[in-house]
Amino acid sequence: MDTFALIVVVGVALIFTYTNGFHDSANAIATSISTRALTPRVALGMAAVMNMAGAFLGSGVAKTVSEGLIATPTGKQGMVILFAALVGAIAWNLISWHYGLPSSSSHALFGGLVGAALAGSSTVHWDGVLTKIVIPMFLSPLIGLVLGYLVMVGILWAFRRANPHRAQRGFRMAQTVSAAGMALGHGLQDAQKTMGVVVMALVIADVQDESDAIPVWVKVSCALMLSLGTYAGGWRIMRTLGRRIIELDPPRGFAAETTAASVLYTASYFFHAPISTTHVITSAIMGVGATRRVSAVRWGVAGSIVRGWFITMPAAGGVAALCYLLVHLVVG
């Protein structure tokens, strides 16, 4: 029974990773597609490969997820908590994808973990939630917004005397690199989040200790599912990011992707903070768009997106808590 529970939880974790991939594929490539720097299928293929590569570049974020947010639950109840957390996250991913809302798969997972842990009377590390989740949730979009604006101002100044057509062509080519960097950062962040949950399941099942390194099969499985989901594409959200916030041109697309990738790498390697790729790229797009003129950004659309960010964790947490109670009634 314990083995069956472990298999179920790992399987649902991989399903979550797949939904994360198609939900968040827009983060890496929406700007490149909207500026016609890359064709959709080429962009998706490149993003899938770079997502897989990024999954192998670190483990700090996975450690934060597996140890820093909730106390590792034990026994059958622990498996039910993880199962319910993943179901809550998957449910919110599908709802937000249906409505084309670029919400955070990461915060859906965090909300699911906290909601299920509370329903199961397990310990929540509120200091870790505050310092690793809540504070970065506010800081990373602000940094993306301001940094995106400054990077774009720098580009406009540096190329103020350049031939416009030649500059546009050059930045369209440069977007191939910046989009790849963004996809690599997405893999670095988001694949590790699922790895952390799978490691928790392995610890609960006494398959490994918390201090052990992440098994290679876990890295490969999470990376592969994230890549497959990315290649499936999330066209509804792609339209929102690529065109509804602002009409991007290649220089602004390059600036937004470069800004977002820089923030992702910094958070992963220096702070081991599991930040949202969605929050960072969306705010960077707003920042670079504001350099055209403040009114060029469709702030109504942006406001709807930001409101979605704030309801993601409680919504996913509520679904996870309900799922825990229902499963707990069934399995005792």
Asked whether residue 184 is assigned to any structural domain, the reply reads yes
Mean pLDDT of the chain: 86
In a domain, 61, yes or no: yes
Specify the higher pLDDT residue, 120 or 298. Answer: 120
Closest CA to 24 of 106, 99, 117, 81: 106
Name the pLDDT band for 243 (thresholds 50, 70, 90). Answer: low
Establish if 279 belongs to a structural domain.
yes
pLDDT at 210 over 90: no
What is the rounded CA–CA span in Å between residue 145 and residue 87? 32
Q: Which domain holds residue 155?
A: 3-327
Q: Which of 86-95, 230-239, 250-259, 279-288 is least confident?
A: 230-239
Let me know if residue 71 belongs to a domain: yes
Q: Is residue 320 part of a domain?
A: yes
pLDDT tens for residues 250-263? 899 899 999 999 99
Beta-ladder partners of 190:
none
Q: Name the pTM for this structure.
A: 0.88
Q: Between 116 and 239, whose confidence is greater?
A: 116
What is the Cα–Cα distance from 252 to 242, expressed in whole angstroms?
11
Res 100: pLDDT: 73
For position 143, what pLDDT does the model report? 95
Task: Tell me whether residue 157 is in a domain.
Answer: yes
**pLDDT tens-digit series, residues 138-183:** 899 899 999 999 999 999 999 999 998 899 899 999 988 998 998 8
> Looking at the predicted structure, is the pLDDT value of residue 237 above 70?
no
Q: What is the pLDDT of residue 276?
A: 84
Is 332 contained in some domain? no
Over residues 51-70, the pLDDT tens digits come to 889 888 888 888 888 888 99
In this predicted model, what pLDDT tens digit does every residue of 68-103 receive, in sequence order?
A: 899 988 888 899 999 999 999 999 888 888 877 767
Q: Is the confidence at residue 301, as pLDDT, over 80?
A: no
Give the pLDDT band (50/70/90) at residue 111. very high
Helices of type H across 70-134: 75-98, 105-119, 126-128
> Cβ distance 34 to 249 under 8 Å?
no
The structural domain count of the chain equals 1
Cα distance from N-terminal residue to C-terminal residue, the chain: 13
Residue 64 domain flag: yes
Q: Report, in angstroms and rounded to the nearest whole number, the Rg of the chain calculated over CA atoms.
A: 19
